[in-house]
Amino acid sequence: MTLDSPDLSGNSLRCKWVLRHTQSHRRYHGEMKDLAFDDLHLFARVAALGTLSAAARERDVPVSQVSRALSRIEQTCATRLVHRSTHGLALTAEGEIFLGYCLRIVGTLDELEGEFAAKTQEPCGLVRVAASTVIAQYQLLPSLPGLCARHPGLRIELEVGDRLADMARDGIDIAIRTSTNLPETVIARQIGTLSRALYAAPQYLARAGAPSRPQELHQHRLITNSAVTQLNHWPFVANGTRFVIVADGHWRSNDTNVVAAMVLQGLGIGRLSTIAAEPLVQQQRLVPVLAEFVEPQTIPIYAVTASARHRLPKIRACIDYWAQWLRPLAAGTPP
């Protein structure tokens, strides 16, 4: 079957046509029972990532190996599941149906693994974690030696960046996020907090002077985040009135580490995480700006997991440890 198949109206009629089509061509090279769970997982990841090369990178195997596995799956099903082109992959109608079953079976297997592993296994295996640059560098990285000592069977892969990771597409087990806008299909547990304030380097303030009121910020060079525009909404309180100034950056970057580096270089005023900036204040490399006007905010940090995987021992072990690790940091003391 190809996408040039007859036009069908209604999903149920389309599914019936697909099933009749596949049932009328049962010249299988194998049987469905010959497919391994890993075949189903591989197909689901290929569909989510959109390219064979991305699936190969995720598994750290040659693209040819993934291509052969996909061809073998299609031969077993005796039908084409994927259209290949130079622009990527697109599922056929049969591929969409097969994907639905793959996701259900893989999800059920994860739940089963979680039920038994919680009773019998020490946490072990690879855990892929997505986090912003600041959270990864200042909160997760220092925790890894202790996590390794407690659970030596765990392996951690950090996917670091300021964009929100697509957990299904990127194969993420745990996403560490400050956003509260989360889909209903995930489970979120608060594991810590952070706050942000305005800072500048001493050399910038010596050259440009320090603003005495938030309204004077437009006279200064501001440094903003081009990837997460919400970070450029700077909250203030004056005379009991809360207001927000949307910073228009003269200097911009899509990476919070680069934003901090620009501030340190004396290029202007930026809004930084206090957990990253306060040690630099103590070293006299940064100076708080408009501290008496910046609205104090406690921003929750969440560990987000897919609903079918949150009970896996390796995932729960990481989240439990980070919740314990980050609690003293939220109180401003070393762990």
pLDDT digits (tens, 9 = 90+) for 178-231: 876 777 778 899 998 889 999 999 999 999 999 999 999 999 999 999 988 889
* Same domain flag for 187 and 207: no
Looking at 88, 117, 146, the residue that finishes a domain is 117
Strand order in the sheet with 287-288: 251-253, 222-225, 269-273, 196-200, 287-288
CB 270 within 8 A of CB 216: no
Question: Residue 322 belongs to what H/E stretch?
Answer: helix 313-330
Q: Which residue has the tokens 């290029």?
A: 267
* Same domain flag for 273 and 226: yes
What mean pLDDT do residues 130-153 have?
91
Q: For residue 29, is pLDDT > 50?
A: no
| pLDDT of amino acid 329 | 60
Q: How far apart are CA 45 and CA 54, in angstroms?
A: 9
Residue 6 included in any domain? no
* Same domain flag for 186 and 200: no
Q: What are the Cα distances from residue 150, in Å, to 124, 147, 153, 158, 223? A: 11, 5, 9, 19, 40
Ranked by mean pLDDT, the top range of 8-12, 25-29, 63-67, 210-214 is 210-214
64-112 per-position pLDDT tens digit: 999 999 999 999 998 999 998 877 788 999 999 998 888 888 877 776 7
Q: What are the Cα distances from residue 95, in Å, to 15, 69, 78, 103, 122? A: 11, 15, 12, 12, 37
Q: For residue 127, is pLDDT > 80?
A: yes
Q: How far apart are CA 88 and CA 186, in angstroms?
A: 28
Residue 103 included in any domain? yes
Count structural domains, the chain: 3
* Same domain flag for 61 and 187: no
* pLDDT confidence bin for 169, thresholds 50/70/90: low
The residue segments making up the domain with residue 313 are 124-191+299-330
Beta-bridge mates of residue 224: 252
* pLDDT confidence bin for 296, thresholds 50/70/90: confident
Residue 230 included in any domain? yes
3-state secondary structure 37-87: HHHHHHHHHHHHHCCHHHHHHHHCCCHHHHHHHHHHHHHHHCCCCEEEECC
- Report how far Cα 258 is from the mean position of its chain's Cα atoms: 20
| Percent above pLDDT 70 for the chain | 83
Rounded to 5°, angle at Cα 234 from 230 and 237: 140
Looking up residue 303, the CATH number of its domain turns out to be 3.40.190.10
Q: For residue 12, is pLDDT > 80?
A: no
| pLDDT of amino acid 9 | 45
What mean pLDDT do residues 145-167 have?
86
What pTM does this model have?
A: 0.65
| pLDDT of amino acid 107 | 75
> Which tokens hold the place of 24?
């009328």
The overall average pLDDT reported for the chain is: 84
Residue 260 included in any domain? yes
End-to-end CA gap in the chain: 59
* Same domain flag for 100 and 16: yes
Looking up residue 33, the CATH number of its domain turns out to be 1.10.10.10
* Same domain flag for 37 and 88: yes
* Same domain flag for 305 and 157: yes
Looking at 66, 91, 117, the residue that finishes a domain is 117
* pLDDT confidence bin for 313, thresholds 50/70/90: confident
Residue 157 included in any domain? yes
Residue 148 included in any domain? yes
Which of 94, 123, 76 has the alpha carbon at shortest distance from 20?
A: 94
Residue 234 included in any domain? yes
Looking at 85, 117, 149, the residue that finishes a domain is 117
CB 98 within 8 A of CB 77: yes
* Same domain flag for 224 and 276: yes
* Same domain flag for 66 and 161: no
